[in-house]
């Protein structure tokens, strides 16, 4: 018998940079297709999946602010970037015949549905993958915070933070060969050590709602399914 998933409902956070692949900007459709195939695998295992997508491959508000522009407008641009990514990922999932819906924190009814908790729960109950676009809908936040927020709203058992590496390291493993990977950490330790995995607001919100964060590499084909069944290389952030 194939391994059974340990979770019924999860929240996957995929950064915009993950969708960009090795390009310097935008969306690599092959990478979006690959991530979609991992999500399809999770659905086939019966796991309900909500996905928060980032927008860093398109735009970040701080880039406007650092050049003297208005941060709020910059953040609006960043949030619109997440909608583009959400549509791209939805397209990749639908190519695999995975029933998928995009819900945006910013209303744009001609393009996608607007986010409400009830609507989300309905779609998840119908077996649809729900992609959350538009971050939290507010400037000065990130899509990491949106991931923690949506996870709490949908009662996700864990946040799966897909990153470029397979967990949280003591230092940047791409720069420091002596860096070691943590197997487990508490939310408090992540905050105290200032580990760059999710922003402080996101980790604090996850801690407040007792939601574990599982950090893994989003670039390993089949990695998501493996982690969902308790295997794979990862760091688990959870309070006992």
Residues that constitute the known binding site for ATP: 13-16, 56, 60, 163-164, 169, 172
Q: Does the protein bind ligand UDP through residue 185 (CB under 6 A)?
A: no
Considering only 50, 75, 93, 100, the residue that binds ligand UDP (CB under 6 A) is 75
Q: Does the protein bind ligand UDP through residue 104 (CB under 6 A)?
A: no
Distance CA 89, CA 29 (A): 9
Count residues binding ligand UDP (CB under 6 A). Answer: 24
Find the shortest distance in angstroms from Cβ 221 to ligand UDP.
21
Considering only 34, 43, 60, 150, the residue that binds ligand UDP (CB under 6 A) is 60
Find the shortest distance in angstroms from Cβ 82 to ligand UDP.
6
Q: Packing angle between helix 71-95 and helix 29-44, nearest 10 degrees?
A: 60
Considering only 7, 15, 167, 202, the residue that binds ligand UDP (CB under 6 A) is 15
Length of the chain measured in residues? 240
Sign of CA dihedral 222, 124, 134, 209: negative
Distance CA 76, CA 117 (A): 22
Which CB sits closer to ligand UDP, 77 or 121?
77
Strand 113-114 relative to strand 48-53: parallel, antiparallel, unpaired? Answer: unpaired
Q: Does the protein bind ligand UDP through residue 143 (CB under 6 A)?
A: yes
Listing DSSP states for 2-41 in one string gives PPPPS-SEEEEEE-HHHHHTTSSSS--HHHHHHHHHHHHH
Q: Contact residues for ligand UDP (CB under 6 A)?
A: 15-17, 54-56, 60-61, 74-75, 78-79, 81-82, 135-136, 138-139, 141-146
């Amino acid at each position: 018998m194939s391994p059974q998933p340990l979770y019924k409902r999860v929240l996957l956070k995929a950064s915009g940079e993950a969708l960009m692949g090795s390009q310097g900007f935008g969306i690599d459709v092959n990478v979006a297709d690959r991530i979609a195939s991992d999500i399809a695998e999770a659905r086939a295992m019966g796991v309900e999946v909500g996905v928060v997508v980032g927008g860093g491959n398109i735009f970040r508000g701080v880039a406007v602010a650092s050049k003297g522009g208005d941060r709020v407008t910059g953040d609006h641009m960043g949030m619109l970037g997440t909608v583009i990514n959400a549509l791209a990922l939805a397209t990749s999932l639908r190519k695999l015949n995975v029933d998928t819906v995009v819900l945006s924190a910013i209303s744009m009814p001609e393009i996608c549905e607007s986010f409400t908790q009830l609507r989300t729960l309905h779609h998840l109950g119908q077996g649809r993958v729900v992609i959350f676009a538009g971050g939290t809908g507010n400037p000065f936040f990130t899509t990491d915070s949106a991931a923690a927020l949506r996870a709490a709203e949908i009662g996700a058992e864990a946040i799966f933070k897909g990153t470029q590496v397979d967990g949280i390291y003591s230092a940047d493993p791409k720069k420091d060969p002596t860096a070691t990977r943590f197997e487990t950490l508490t939310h408090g330790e992540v905050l105290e050590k200032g580990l760059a995995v999710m922003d402080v607001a996101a980790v604090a919100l996850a801690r407040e709602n007792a939601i574990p964060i599982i950090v893994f590499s989003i670039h390993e084909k089949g990695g998501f399914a493996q982690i969902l069944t308790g295997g794979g290389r990862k760091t688990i952030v959870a309070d006992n």
